[in-house]
């Protein structure tokens, strides 16, 4: 009986894996990122309405010196990684109350996983620091 309960507990925990750890498809993520391109670039250190995303992974939120972030983002004490991006991309204004980002967020977990897979490839710096 305890083996069965343990097996059910493991199965339930596997079903609860967050989107950040879902398998993403970078090609599909590039298409989803089209929603973001008006404000963000991934291939050059040039800000638009939003900050550029070059070197995004491992970067502290609100840390680009040449971009004017909201006070809320400046105070958002996280480092961007798969988990923090997944949470933010699902609900930007819910995660960082007072963010300037107007985008409502991505509703589908697979879209989030795909965008993260794309961003991991597209924003990596040449020196291997991502």
CATH code, domain with 6: 1.10.760.10
Residue 125: per-residue pLDDT = 78
Burial tier of 117 (Cβ tally within 10 Å: 0-12, 13-18, 19+): buried
Query: Vertex 50, ends 29 and 48: CA angle to 5°?
Result: 100
Per-residue pLDDT of the chain (130 residues; tens, 9 = 90+): 555 554 444 444 444 444 445 689 999 999 999 999 999 999 999 999 999 999 999 999 999 999 999 999 999 999 999 999 999 999 999 999 999 999 999 999 999 999 999 999 999 976 444 3
Domain that holds residue 17: 2-122
Whether 9 maps to a domain, the answer reads: yes
Whether 111 maps to a domain, the answer reads: yes
Residue 108: per-residue pLDDT = 97
3-state SS class at 60: strand
Number of structural domains the chain divides into:
1
């Amino acid at each position: 009986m305890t083996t069965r309960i343990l097996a059910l507990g493991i199965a339930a925990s596997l079903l609860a894996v967050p989107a950040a750890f879902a398998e993403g498809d970078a090609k599909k993520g590039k298409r989803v990122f089209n929603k973001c391109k008006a404000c963000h670039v991934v291939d050059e250190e040039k800000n638009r309405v939003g900050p550029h995303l070059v070197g995004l992974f491992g970067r502290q939120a609100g840390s680009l010196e040449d971009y004017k972030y909201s006070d809320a983002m400046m105070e958002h004490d996280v480092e961007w990684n798969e988990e923090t991006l997944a949470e933010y991309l699902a609900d930007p204004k819910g995660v960082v109350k007072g963010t300037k980002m107007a985008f409502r967020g991505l509703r589908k977990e697979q879209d989030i996983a795909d965008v993260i897979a794309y961003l991991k490839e597209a924003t990596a710096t040449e020196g291997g620091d991502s």
